[in-house]
Structure 1
Amino acid sequence: MWNPKFVKPSKFAKDAPLALALAFGMALTGCGNAGNSNTAAADPSSASDSTKTEQSQPADNKLVVYTAGPEGLANKLIEGYQAESGVQVDMFQGTTGKILARLEAEKSNPAADVVILASLPAAQGLKDDGLTLAYPEAKNADKLNADWSDAEGNYFSSSASALGIAYNTSLISTPPTSWADLSKPEYKDQVNIPDPSLSGSALDFMTGYLNANGDSGWDLFQSYKDNGAVLAGANKEALDPVITGAKGIVASAVDYMTYSAKAKGEPIDIVYPSEGTIISPRPAAILKSTQHKENAKAFIDYLLSDEAQKMVTNAYLMPGRTDIKADNRANLDEIPQLKADWNWMSENGAEVTERFLKLFK
């Protein structure tokens, strides 16, 4: 799926299969050498140890973070970490697909120190490709949901969202209760669905649904297409027309966006289908290429802190820590889940993306 004109296919590309994202990432500019601020050490023969420390090892006060929204939360996390540490953070924000594309485009001159993604298989792909720096001693890592994070400390899911069916309450008088409902005549031409090549969480849902239901799961997506469902960009692009009333429903809607819009008074709500859905963890990882290792570790510690986890719940996301609950949204034990294998989802993501795009485009 990765365009060979730009990138030689690799295991990284396979395991992080947001297939069209590279084209977007290659068009992005910026960052350059933002992550490479350390200077080389002085020759030991030319100065004393104390002089070397002063002249060749200046205080490291930089960090580059690539993060998949939400924007308000990302800004608050960065501000909180900067206030606590005194470290200056440069941030790039985009979808998981755009972040992975940017990493691929910059692989000869890495800039990012830490990435926060909206897809667990994407983080698994980074680990499997040897691109992550393990940090097993991260503070509060033992309090994280073990199913969402790496036992060896290569990635830490500090938050999660669930995929559901978002609907405009002014247009839809009888909300659907199952995924199959969206192929009913009353919802014809009313459904948006996010593009899995741009949205890591949408890909999580599609691969998770297929893993749980086998190849017959494609019948559901075919029925959506036959009922007039359309591919509508990433998550925000799929949801915005439903908020405004141009469309009635989003299949595989990211729940925190819906909760946030509802809290602002928009005519929107969400249901979790009775047969179950996929929880989409949001993993953070330190890249092995980091030039600011200690700052990166401190940033992971901050993401898992009480303060940051409160920011997570305020943004209508599920906290990554099991000892913290949200009071403004459904918690993990209140959401029916599909039984799915994340390893299978990671291994089959590229094939699912390609087939899904051929179906809808």
Structure 2
Amino acid sequence: MKKFLKTMALAAVTLGSFASFGLTDQTVSAEGDKITVYMPSPAGLAEKIAEGFKTQSGKEVEVFQGTTGEILARLEAEKENPIADVVILASWSDGLAMKNDDKLASYELSNKDNAVENFIDEDNTLFGYSASAVGVIYNTELFESLEADWADLSTTEDYKDLLAIPDPEKSGAAKDFVSAYVTEKGWDDFEALANNGTIVPGANKATMEAVTTGEVGILVAGVDYNAYKAIDEGEPLAMYYPESGTVINPRPAMIMKDAPNPEGAQEFVEYLFSDEAQQMVADAYLIPGRADVKSEKRPNVDEIPTLNTDWAKMMEVASEAAARINELMA
């Protein structure tokens, strides 16, 4: 019963968020040529992509934006009356789960050969048009410099009660990191992080605010594009990827099997891999999904140390692992 109520509460939140973008079930059914896209932050990128696609194709794009958790809850609430044509998540493992549930359509992307290796799955259902990674973000007014590895953060007394981690039930990037880490290394370090006073202030935005204001000094598994943007804006922050490695999270764009406008959905996914859209991705501090497009604002794929990522195993444990983080840090 408790799980059911939690799901319904999440659905109610996302329904309200959806309405705030001016989109309702009635407007979608009345204008079938529109493309309906669900996608995570950054907000400015969503707006630019929607406008760029409209300029190129003449077709409107209705966007619902939320965290990965909010998007998944919205999809669950709409399963009897599908609205989304394209869904983008910040978690590759959650995308794989949707694929396993037979919710995705296959499509042969015209320029798939330009995609970063492994950013498109073998069945052509997940299209990693961009990516982020997680690292350690710290407040430079509290710590002049920091190079601690993940395990060091959990055991060093100097960091006690100064640590935060994003809620992996809301943040897709944090969810993928947690599932990769426990698949490779087990739970000892997260249990030690809990004992060292780590808190969960909320999703990525709330945790960034906590470290920026100095409520905490160190953000564990913070999403990198948020940090690079904040640093460029003059916030007292720095970021690094721990030596033992992190997770690069391809952000899958997926065409829904029950999309009301499947042809428009295919056209939109093609646009995501266009020169124009990929430059928008790079300008938004994300990693482009095409190997021939590089970001000058942040490290690219070959500059980031990574953990082993067995996505099939990660998918199996991801939801349970995310829930356990909240239990440990409570």
The alignment's TM-score, normalised by the length of structure 2, stands at 0.93
Contact 1:22 1:102 in 2 (8 A): no
In 2: Cα distance, 1:61 partner to 1:108 partner: 21
Q: 1:203 to 1:297 in 2, by over 3 A?
A: same
Cα distance, 1:21 vs structure 2 = 6.1
CA distance in 2, matches of 1:189, 1:254: 21
Partner of 2:227: 258
Matches within 5 A, 1:31-50: 31-37=24-30
Q: Which residue of 2 aligns with 1:355?
A: 324
Q: Aligned partners of 1:78, 1:2: CA distance in 2, in Å?
A: 38
Change in 2 beyond 3 A, CA 1:32/1:2: farther
Which residue of the partner structure matches residue 49 of structure 2? Answer: 77
Tell me, yes or no, if structure 1 residue 178 matches structure 2 residue 171.
Answer: no
**Moved segments of 4+, more than 4 Å:** none
> Is 1:94 the equivalent of 2:63?
no
The C-alpha deviation readout for 1:332-355, integer Å capped at 9, x for no partner, is 111110012001010111221232
Is the 2:169–2:319 contact (alpha carbons within 8 Å) kept by the matching residues of 1?
no
CA shift for structure 1 position 196: 1.1
Among 118, 121, 129, the alignment partner of 1:147 is 118
1:328 shift after superposition: 1.2
Kindly, what percent of the aligned residue pairs are identical? Answer: 44
Is residue 26 from structure 1 mapped to residue 19 from structure 2 by the alignment? no
Distance in 2 (alpha carbons) for counterparts of 1:356 and 1:241: 18
Partner of 2:214 in structure 1? 245
* Deviations 1:230-286 (CA, angstroms, capped at 9, x unpaired): 011111111112112222111000000000000111111111000001111101011
Residue in 1 that maps onto 2:255: 286
Secondary structure at 2:302 match in 1 = helix
Looking at structure 1, the residues matched to 265 and 312 of structure 2 have their Cα atoms a distance apart, in angstroms, of: 27
Q: Superposed, which structure 2 residues align to 1:59-78 within 5 Å?
A: 61-78=33-50
Instruction: Read off the aligned partner of 1:204 and give its amino acid letter.
Output: D
TM (normalized to structure 1)? 0.85
Alignment correspondent of 2:103: 131
Partner of 2:178: 206
Q: 1:172 to 1:309 in 2, by over 3 A?
A: same
Structure 1 unaligned runs (5+)? Answer: 6-19, 39-59
Q: Give, in whole Å, the separation in 2 of the partners of 1:286 and 1:112.
A: 9
From 295, 303, 312, the equivalent of 1:326 is 295
Determine if contact 1:157/1:282 at 8 Å carries over to the other structure.
Answer: yes
Greater C-alpha Rg: 1
Distance 2:2 2:176 in 1: 19
CA-to-aligned-CA distance 1:297-319 (integer Å, 9 cap, x gap): 11101100011000000001111
| Structure 2: segments with no counterpart, 5+ residues | none
1:21–1:100 CA contact under 8 A, matched in 2 = no
- 1:2 deviation in Å? 8.6
Query: Matched residues in 1 for 2:127 and 2:271: separation?
Result: 12
Q: 1:277 aligned to 2:246?
A: yes
Cα distance 1:302–1:357, how it changes in 2: closer, same or farther (>3 A)? same
Which residue does 2:282 correspond to in 1? Answer: 313
Contact 1:192/1:251 (8 A) holds in 2: yes
The SS at the match of 1:112 is coil
Cα distance between partner residues in 2 of 1:26 and 1:65? 19
Query: Deviations along 1:55-104, whole A, 9 cap, x unmatched?
Result: xxxxx531111111111111111111011111111111000000000000
Counterpart residue number, 2:127: 156
> Paired residue for 1:267, among 213, 236, 242?
236
Deviations 1:111-143 (A, max 9, x none): 11111110001111111111111111x232221
- The offset of 1:33, in angstroms, is 4.2
Please say if 1:335 is aligned against 2:304. yes
**Are the counterparts in 2 of residues 25 and 98 from structure 1 also a CA contact under 8 Å?**
yes
